[in-house]
Amino acid sequence: MQNCYKNTDSFILIYSTVDYASYEKIQELKEEIVSIRGNTFPAVLFGNKVDLADQRAVTADQGEQLAAKYSFPFFEGSAKTDIHINDAFAAAVRAAFSVTESKEKKQTCQLM
């Protein structure tokens, strides 16, 4: 997996809103990416499974705070019911192109 991190143009870091351990795992994942890419890389934080609101273990505020800590755009949604999926991917693509344009290089965009 680490080899993929080097060539990825943008990341969508996803946790489950019904699984607090997955939320905590985001910190580890970010640190792993930082160890390979450095402190600055384009990413979006996405809280998935909002369709299971009665089972929520991670609040929207917690997601927003973590995203603010890392300066990542934040979305909550559901892959199952297609809530905010396109918004998150669009934000990841915008972040990738923002970095690419600032480096003035023209390449394809890889999402992971």
The predicted pLDDT at position 103 comes to 58
CB 95 within 8 A of CB 73: yes
Paired tokens of 79: 């892959």
Global pTM? 0.85
Q: Is the pLDDT of residue 110 over 80?
A: no
Q: How far apart are CA 99 and CA 81, in angstroms?
A: 31
Buried b (16+ CB within 10 A) or exposed e, 81-107: eebbbeebbebbbebbeeebeeeeeee
Write down the domain spans for the chain.
Answer: 2-103
Q: How far apart are CA 112 and CA 99, in angstroms?
A: 16
pLDDT tens string 9-58: 899 999 999 999 999 999 999 999 999 998 889 999 999 999 999 999 99
Third-level CATH fold of 2-103: Rossmann fold (3.40.50)
Q: Is the pLDDT of residue 69 over 60?
A: yes
